[in-house]
Amino acid sequence: MKLGKNVVLYKNAKIGTNQLIEDFVILGKPPRGFEDGQLPLVIGDSPVIRSGTIIYAGNVIGDKFQTGDNARIRENNKIGDEVSVGAGSIVETGCDIRNRVKIHSNCFVCEYTLIEENAWIGPNVTMTNVLHPPCPAFKSHAPVQGAKCCHGPIIKKNAVVGAGAVILPGIVIGENAVVGAGAVVTDEVVRGCVVTGDPARVVKKVEDLDCPLGFYEKGEVYSWRKS
Amino acid sequence: MKLGKNVVLYKNAKIGTNQLIEDFVILGKPPRGFEDGQLPLVIGDSPVIRSGTIIYAGNVIGDKFQTGDNARIRENNKIGDEVSVGAGSIVETGCDIRNRVKIHSNCFVCEYTLIEENAWIGPNVTMTNVLHPPCPAFKSHAPVQGAKCCHGPIIKKNAVVGAGAVILPGIVIGENAVVGAGAVVTDEVVRGCVVTGDPARVVKKVEDLDCPLGFYEKGEVYSWRKS
Amino acid sequence: MKLGKNVVLYKNAKIGTNQLIEDFVILGKPPRGFEDGQLPLVIGDSPVIRSGTIIYAGNVIGDKFQTGDNARIRENNKIGDEVSVGAGSIVETGCDIRNRVKIHSNCFVCEYTLIEENAWIGPNVTMTNVLHPPCPAFKSHAPVQGAKCCHGPIIKKNAVVGAGAVILPGIVIGENAVVGAGAVVTDEVVRGCVVTGDPARVVKKVEDLDCPLGFYEKGEVYSWRKS
């Protein structure tokens, strides 16, 4: 275990082998209404937790987890293997983030977001979960994933969400779909489609993407993701 | 008083009763050109100051103040009661933030912003205060709130600013108005109107908003805010 | 030297005279795959490094460098004199940031970005460097600055990038050009032009900008920058 300086480890943080935990990290912080040690934090083997990261108690996180500096992960999330949450990004509560998801820097992942395997979320992406915030019904009703009023977006397998995009509540981004940088996504994105703009509209199919530098043949740009 | 680990308390920080101050918080930090203790920091009763929050000296803040992790509040702001400033959000100097305002996560609230009672600012919202930055006149002239060239936006009572919106300098968002997620607001938003897009345009009245899950009748979506 | 509390100084951090280094700063942190002290960090005279800033080893930074709270600067960047990197902003690796550049708060400056002298980057700006992320060719090929597929944007001398703008990979923002707040820049911006919108389009020349408060004559708004 490599442990940085001034690390704050709360009780009941269970961390696997081969950890790198950098300076000023906080692990297992009790959320509002809980005492130190009441909720467990479980992190698998070989995590790399970079400086200033804050991970609350009540999370179950798989192997090879990585964070960027100052990432913040609130309570009650389920996070798979080989996931990374980038510098300055926030994951709120109740999210389901599956294997090999990469969330880049300064993102906001709202409560009850579902992000499926291999999805890639660019820097500064914002997810939302309430159509008319701050709706009192948000707190008084059980969350309904994928429902347009309440709550979190669903980002399906292999989807790519470009930098600075904003995803409206309950929106489904289909499998292998691509959301262009800066897009504001107000409607479902069908699998394999590319959307851009505000509001986001389909501009092409993923199979029609072209690589200007010739690393990939036309139609093969994301072919490596489908295996 | 519940005090976290490694808290840095500068001189002249006056904090009310019943505080929760978490790890790595900095309170009363002297701004540029000031010595430790020269400017007071006043925070009312029952504050919840989450990990890594930095609050400069020279602020006067009411009761029941809350911050998210790593919130940063610079000097010379006036902040009312029951205000919250979310994780990673920045409040610059000279702002007037009134009772029960909620500023969500990763927001940037520029100098001289006025946010009136009950306004709700979504995650990743950016406020601006200079039409042609970095204008030398910004520093050499007294700020003029609501003037289109210099300076801060005015967000009126009960207004809602959706996630990822960008507000141009001196823009007024009217009472009970709603700015859609991702909107770029370049003109005044009339009270009770809903705007979306880049540039933001009126798409409907707040009274015409519909709740797809049926929590509210048509026309009643924000009725609970007007009381 | 004024040194805050709980500062973490790694080996091989060479910092000039007249430093102000605030609380919880980390200087010279070794990047992935490097040991403490293996890479130098060089910072010139009179730096102001604000609370919570993290600067990795492997950077060469000029005189009068300033950071805002919680700024993060990764390895292998070349940064000139009188540069500032604002609160919460992230500078990734391999960037070339020249004299007197100002990067405001909560920005994301991606790998291999070039920002020339005097350029001004507003709050919450996002730069990108891969047309089809997460492209495997990004890692396996040498970066090509200004190439549309891989990699970093080029922001030329005196350019201004407004708050919340998103810059697509390899885009060139011309000398003295202005990118409006919230713009999504998908094509080259010709020198001296003003662009706004998503996608960004030319709306006028910089020489046609008007100062509504009369600080500058029509056509003189950015005249002070060209000297």
For residue B145, give Cα distances in angstroms to B94, B118, C204, C212: 10, 19, 27, 14
pLDDT confidence of residue C148: 64
pLDDT confidence of residue C217: 87
pLDDT, tens digit (0-9, with 9 covering 90-100), for A70-97: 999 999 999 999 999 999 999 999 999 9
Q: How far is A227 from chain B (nearest CA, A)?
A: 34
pLDDT confidence of residue C226: 64
Q: Please give the Cα distance from A6 to A3 (Å, whole number).
A: 9
Active site residues of A: 132
pLDDT confidence of residue C111: 93
Q: Please give the Cα distance from C3 to B34 (Å, whole number).
A: 16
Residues of chain B with Cβ-Cβ distance to C224 below 8 Å are: 136
Q: Please give the Cα distance from A94 to A112 (Å, whole number).
A: 5
Residues near C139 by Cβ (< 8 Å), separated by ≥ 6?
Answer: none
**Neighbour tally for B82: CB within 10 Å:** 17
Instruction: Judge whether C76 and C91 are in contact, CB under 8 Å.
Output: no
Q: Please give the Cα distance from A25 to A69 (Å, whole number).
A: 9
Q: Please give the Cα distance from A41 to A226 (Å, whole number).
A: 33
Determine whether the interchain pair B181/A168 forms a contact, defined as Cβ–Cβ distance below 8 Å.
yes
Q: How far is C227 from chain A (nearest CA, A)?
A: 34
Confidence band for C224, pLDDT divided at 50, 70 and 90: confident
pLDDT exceeds 70 at position C147: no
Q: How far is C126 from chain B (nearest CA, A)?
A: 12
| Percentage of chain A modeled with pLDDT above 90 | 82
Determine whether the interchain pair C212/B26 forms a contact, defined as Cβ–Cβ distance below 8 Å.
no
Residues of chain A with Cβ-Cβ distance to B181 below 8 Å are: 126, 128, 166, 168, 184
Q: Which of C23, C183, C212 sits opposite B149 (nearest CB)?
A: C212
Q: Which of A5, A209, A215 sits opposite C8 (nearest CB)?
A: A5
Determine whether the interchain pair B213/A90 forms a contact, defined as Cβ–Cβ distance below 8 Å.
no
Q: Which of A5, A163, A216 sits opposite C126 (nearest CB)?
A: A163
Strands C201-205 and C193-196: antiparallel
Residues near B141 by Cβ (< 8 Å), separated by ≥ 6?
Answer: B150, C215
Q: Please give the Cα distance from B192 to C144 (Å, whole number).
A: 49
Q: Which amino acid is at C21?
A: I
Whole-number mean pLDDT of chain C? Answer: 93
Q: Which amino acid is at B211?
A: C
Q: Angle at Cα A55 formed by Cα A147 and Cα B164, nearest 5°?
A: 45
Place of tokens 């007007």: B226
Tokens linked to B100? 């029960």
Residues of chain A with Cβ-Cβ distance to B105 below 8 Å are: 90, 108
Strands A201-205 and A193-196: antiparallel
Q: Which amino acid is at B38?
A: Q
Q: DSSP assignment of B25-54, as one string?
A: -EEEEPPTT--TTTS-EEE-SS-EE-TT-E
Instruction: Judge whether B176 and B192 are in contact, CB under 8 Å.
Output: yes
Q: Please give the Cα distance from A72 to C90 (Å, whole number).
A: 15
One digit per residue, pLDDT tens: chain A, 227 residues?
789 999 999 999 999 999 999 999 999 999 999 999 999 999 999 999 999 999 999 999 999 999 999 999 999 999 999 999 999 999 999 999 999 999 999 999 999 999 999 999 999 999 999 999 998 877 655 565 556 677 889 999 999 999 999 999 999 999 999 999 999 999 999 999 999 999 999 999 999 999 888 888 888 899 888 65
Q: Angle at Cα A85 formed by Cα A79 and Cα A86, nearest 5°?
A: 180
